[in-house]
């Protein structure tokens, strides 16, 4: 199976968007959404191999709910934001923590966008098939062990707010992917830290 969206114009990501994820790393809950991006070249199919880059020794996992834009919009009102979504899928915001948190001036882009760092899918679930996008279980297993287990009810900034916020800065177009943040349980904040090999 391939990624349900393979070559979007934009892959927009949100950092620190789960209350419980902020608590696990002892950081303040953001007052505004923290936005970064990945390049589309990071996207791979849901079961493809993530290539561990030689440049990093701290590769981590982040399960995320991803929304796919289906209708073009700029300066979208929160009340109309979900009208611009065609459906949802699952993403893994694979992250090289050394590059994200210690290198490159601590800008997140390079640590987030190595090739293969955005497994996506397998399914695109249409919006009408999801009763409440803010009440979904979200989990990640590594080698059969559940590492992340939370709910989208923990989102700080909900999807309508995120769409309205991002559309203040860029025009959203069909096929754009919005990763909404990750819950706790990532490797970097475990004691001791655990990274992918």
Tell me the C-alpha distance between 167 and 77, whole Å. Answer: 9
pLDDT beyond 90 at 144: yes
Section 174-178 average pLDDT: 98
pLDDT tens by residue, 95-113? 999 999 999 888 899 999 9
Query: Does residue 197 register a pLDDT over 90?
Result: yes
Is the pLDDT confidence value at 25 over 90? no
**Rounded distance between C-alpha atoms, residue 11 and residue 7, angstroms:** 9
- Rounded to the nearest integer, the mean pLDDT of the chain is 96
Do residues 5 and 175 make contact, with C-beta atoms less than 8 angstroms apart? yes
CATH 2.120.10.30 given to domain 11-189: no
Residue 91 contacts residue 68 (beta carbons within 8 Å): no
Quote the pTM value: 0.95
Q: Cβ distance 114 to 104 under 8 Å?
A: no
């Amino acid at each position: 199976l391939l990624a349900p969206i393979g070559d979007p114009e934009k892959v927009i990501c949100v950092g620190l968007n789960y209350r419980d994820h902020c608590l696990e790393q002892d950081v303040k809950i953001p007052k505004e959404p923290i936005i970064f991006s990945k390049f589309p070249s990071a996207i791979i199919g849901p079961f493809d191999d993530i290539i561990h880059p030689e440049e990093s020794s701290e590769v981590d996992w982040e399960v995320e709910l991803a929304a796919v834009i289906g209708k073009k919009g700029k300066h979208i009102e929160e009340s109309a934001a979900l009208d611009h979504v065609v459906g949802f899928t699952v993403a893994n915001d694979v992250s090289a923590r050394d590059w994200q948190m210690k290198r490159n001036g601590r800008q997140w882009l390079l640590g987030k966008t190595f090739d293969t760092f955005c497994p996506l899918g397998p399914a695109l679930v249409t919006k009408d098939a999801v009763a409440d996008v803010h009440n979904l279980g979200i989990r990640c297993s590594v080698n059969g062990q559940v590492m992340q287990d939370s709910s989208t009810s923990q989102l700080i900034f909900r999807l309508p707010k995120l769409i309205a916020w991002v559309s203040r800065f860029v025009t959203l177009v069909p096929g754009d992917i919005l990763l909404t943040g990750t819950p706790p349980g990532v490797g970097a904040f475990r004691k001791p830290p655990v990274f992918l090999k």
